[in-house]
Amino acid sequence: MLRIENLCVKIGDKEILTDINLHIEKGETHVLFGPNGAGKSTLINTILGNPKYEVANGSIYFNGKDITDMPMHERAKLGIGISYQSPPAISGVKLKNLLKIISKRDWEDVEKMVKHLNFEKFMDREVNVGFSGGEVKRSEILQIYSQNPDFIMFDEPDSGVDVENVELIGNTINKLLDKELKICERNKSGLIITHMGHILDFMEVDKAHVLCDGVISCSGNPREILNNLINHGYKRCIACYQKKKH
Ligand SMILES: Nc1ncnc2c1ncn2[C@@H]1O[C@H](COP(=O)(O)OP(=O)(O)OP(=O)(O)O)[C@@H](O)[C@H]1O
Q: Look at residue 4 in the predicted model and tell me its pLDDT.
A: 98
Q: What's the predicted TM-score (pTM) here?
A: 0.92
Q: Does 143 have pLDDT greater than 80? A: yes
Q: Which of 47-61, 102-116, 148-162 has the lowest mean pLDDT?
A: 148-162
CA angle 229/233/237 to nearest 5° reads 75
CA angle 18/19/25 to nearest 5° reads 125
ipTM for this prediction:
0.96
Give the pLDDT band of residue 246 (cuts 50, 70, 90): low
Q: Tell me the C-alpha to C-alpha distance, in Å, between residue 224 and each of 17, 55, 198, 206.
A: 25, 32, 14, 12
**Mean pLDDT value of segment 136-150:** 94
CATH at residue 172: 3.40.50.300
Atom index in ligand 1 nearest the CA of residue 38 equals 21
Number of domains in the chain: 1
Range of the domain at 194: 2-245
Q: Look at residue 82 in the predicted model and tell me its pLDDT.
A: 95
Q: Does 158 have pLDDT greater than 70? A: yes
The proportion of the chain whose per-residue pLDDT surpasses 90, expressed as a percent, equals: 74
**Mean pLDDT value of segment 87-105:** 94
Q: Look at residue 245 in the predicted model and tell me its pLDDT.
A: 66
Distance 110 CA to ligand 1 centre (A): 35
What 8-state DSSP symbol labels residue 206? Answer: S
Ligand 1 pocket: which residues have CB below 6 Å?
11-12, 14, 16, 34, 36-42
Q: Look at residue 240 in the predicted model and tell me its pLDDT.
A: 75
Atom index in ligand 1 nearest the CA of residue 35 equals 25
CA angle 190/194/196 to nearest 5° reads 145
**Mean pLDDT value of segment 129-148:** 93
Q: Does 221 have pLDDT greater than 90? A: yes
Q: Does 107 have pLDDT greater than 70? A: yes
**What type of residue sits at position 116?**
H
